[in-house]
Copies of this chain bind each other. A is one copy, B any other.
């Protein structure tokens, strides 16, 4: 066999480099480092003037691909040179996939998925053995409920501005709310609402994140109770829960959280007041008809029964008064949770209703807090309420009667500033920095731009309270999201239309299609508001999103110290250190202390007896960004993601004998495939083979 000495030498060099590269994290720098820097940062970029040759080149590509100049401009507005960072992060709900997505704007690229209510193995979320804190947190009444329907993410706010520290999101299907820590982009806490099976308006935050609001939707018997549909008015209720947030701990302060009993009106979206309306929050409703369906009995179906009346009720809630009532001990426990009952809300002036047309969806507070914009859904108008008028109406004592639960109703004309006719199916409104508002029109399949009045009238040359233009979207938009559009100081510039139906926009993906996020350029005043990018959402169904300027985030690149426990967000004394590795036994309890570093685990052989209770701890001894390892044991449903510095413990019973390779599941180095070991589970009986698996058992 002829192997030239140069090949041998090159081979040895390669292996030295591979090992060195593995240990030191060295990889070859790209040859065009300077150009790379320009692309990455935009610094040192000299303004260009296109030469005739370059224009010819660009034109040729455009004609090959049948693009026109509008397409070229859109492409130029959204393209990201290699290494250039997006300006904004759009944190979007994932809908019934149970996750949260982080999407870069303007490139519209999916940067990262964050697991919340559904186990996800790349992140090692829910695959850390028995008593995994994640799967424990996903149990309801002891039952695993391993999915969620995420709808409305809310970034933590300080003085009504995004502060980039936390993200909250609710699970509509199972009435849970999660806290995501934006230092390491991981879910840290899930609370289960003890009053109701499902919710909808979660989450929304008060301007300093004192409370995270979780609103209900489908009325039920509070406290997980039971009553037949005939008892609807008597026994079914809505609710809204105020979860107190302890920012220092980064967790909900459950003992200081409480709820409000509401009539069974199917509450919908919510928003907190700010500035002029600080201290209030607002919730829509859409079934004050209290329809109970029963199409099988010949009744009108819910869709008809819930849509009969011209008006539903805007819920106006003074949360500071509610907080005071709670602290004064006026709440009653339902299922052990403090609830301010309707009579207290009425007596203490906490809850008022104002009529709102017509099965509305979104209520959105303008940045200065002065107005509340209600999107009519089955009415073609947005109805604008004024906080000054609301406060005056409350103070005046004048009422337009009360509902059958005794809740006072404010007179519509006394609290409405104006109505603006926009089109068919208004659902949700966002704002920019030029006095414009943007409302999604589901049935028109368009985004409407219109002008606010009041203080906003001076920000643009248009008439106030007027429709300016509509941009068609594809198709049937639900929510929309403008840059910082829920805060006291929106940025304008970009708006994302979150359409529910994509139909023909993308290649067919089977009978199940993706949703379509379209980026709209809202930087120019007037009627120029083009769609500049279509982005399919390849999994899940986003509902609502929030967009934050990227430089507000203070994301960790690695964990702060080696041995860091992400569940507790601090150093863990149990984290094995280098030199401290090994396998120790006490009876049938085995403790494995392991370290992981490029490119080996230490130890590489772990031997236990069938039936042993194993506690296994691993520390990733890495400090370089992106030097993440994985760890899995095939057949035992275990996979971990070990980011630089991370410590994890997992426990399980080694009840399946055999010879199990464990290996690094996240490509870490040139010798990544060699980063493995064996987990030997010695069978009780000397016979070697485990229970035979019928080959290719086809369960499907």
Contact = CB atoms under 8 A, between A and B. Distances in A.
Contacts of A67: 45, 48, 76, 79, 81
Interface in A648-662: 656-661
A274 interface: no
A245 B42 CA distance: 53
Given A10-B421, A252-B696, A296-B604, A475 B27 contact: yes
A633 B188 CA distance: 25
Interface string A178-199: 0000011110111111100110
A380 B10 contact: yes
A174 B27 CA distance: 32
A136 B47 CA distance: 61
Contacts of A667: 476, 478, 500, 541, 543
Which 7 A-B residue pairs are closest in the complex by CB-CB distance? Answer: A254-B696, A185-B510, A75-B79, A511-B643, A218-B661, A296-B603, A30-B472
A7 interface: yes
A282 interface: no
B79 A78 contact: yes
Given A185-B509, A670-B377, A192 B663 contact: no
A112 interface: yes
Interface stretch (A317-325, A460-468, A529-537): A529-537
A661 to B, nearest CB: 4
Given A511-B643, A699-B133, A296 B581 contact: yes
Given A228-B607, A236-B659, A676-B302, A692 B335 contact: yes
A670 B425 CA distance: 7
Contact of A302 (B311, B378, B657, B674): B674
Nearest to A661: B218
Interface residues of A, number: 271
Contacts of A251: 698
Given A425-B670, A445-B28, A644-B511, A656 B143 contact: yes
Contact of A198 (B217, B581, B663, B689): B663
19 contacts: A7-B381, A18-B443, A39-B71, A82-B531, A109-B506, A112-B509, A122-B540, A123-B539, A141-B690, A143-B656, A144-B637, A173-B635, A194-B696, A226-B688, A296-B582, A335-B693, A510-B643, A511-B557, A513-B628
A511 B198 contact: no
A310 B506 CA distance: 49
Interface stretch (A54-62, A341-349, A429-437, A480-488): A54-62
Interface string A658-678: 111101011110110111111
B695 A635 contact: no
A149 interface: yes
B557 A696 contact: no
Contact of A665 (B96, B194, B699): B96
A173 B53 CA distance: 53
A95 interface: yes
A303 interface: yes
A111 B506 contact: yes
Given A557-B511, A632-B96, A634-B197, A304 B19 contact: yes
A72 B76 CA distance: 6
A14 B296 contact: no
Contacts of A671: 303, 307
Interface stretch (A203-211, A367-375, A411-419): A411-419
Contacts of A683: 226
**Max chain B Cβ within 10 angstroms of own Cβ: one of A137, A444, A513:** A513
B85 A507 contact: yes
Nearest to A101: B538
A621 interface: no
A386 interface: no
A605 B55 contact: no
A513 B626 contact: yes
Contact of A555 (B17, B226, B509): B509
Nearest to A299: B604
A63 interface: yes
Interface in A1-55: 1-3, 7-8, 10-11, 14-15, 17-19, 21-22, 27-28, 30-32, 38-40, 42, 45, 47-51, 54-55
A277 B369 CA distance: 73
Given A10-B380, A509-B111, A658 B221 contact: yes
Given A83-B474, A674-B306, A689-B224, A555 B50 contact: no
A293 interface: yes
A397 interface: no
A183 B510 contact: yes
A224 to B, nearest CB: 4
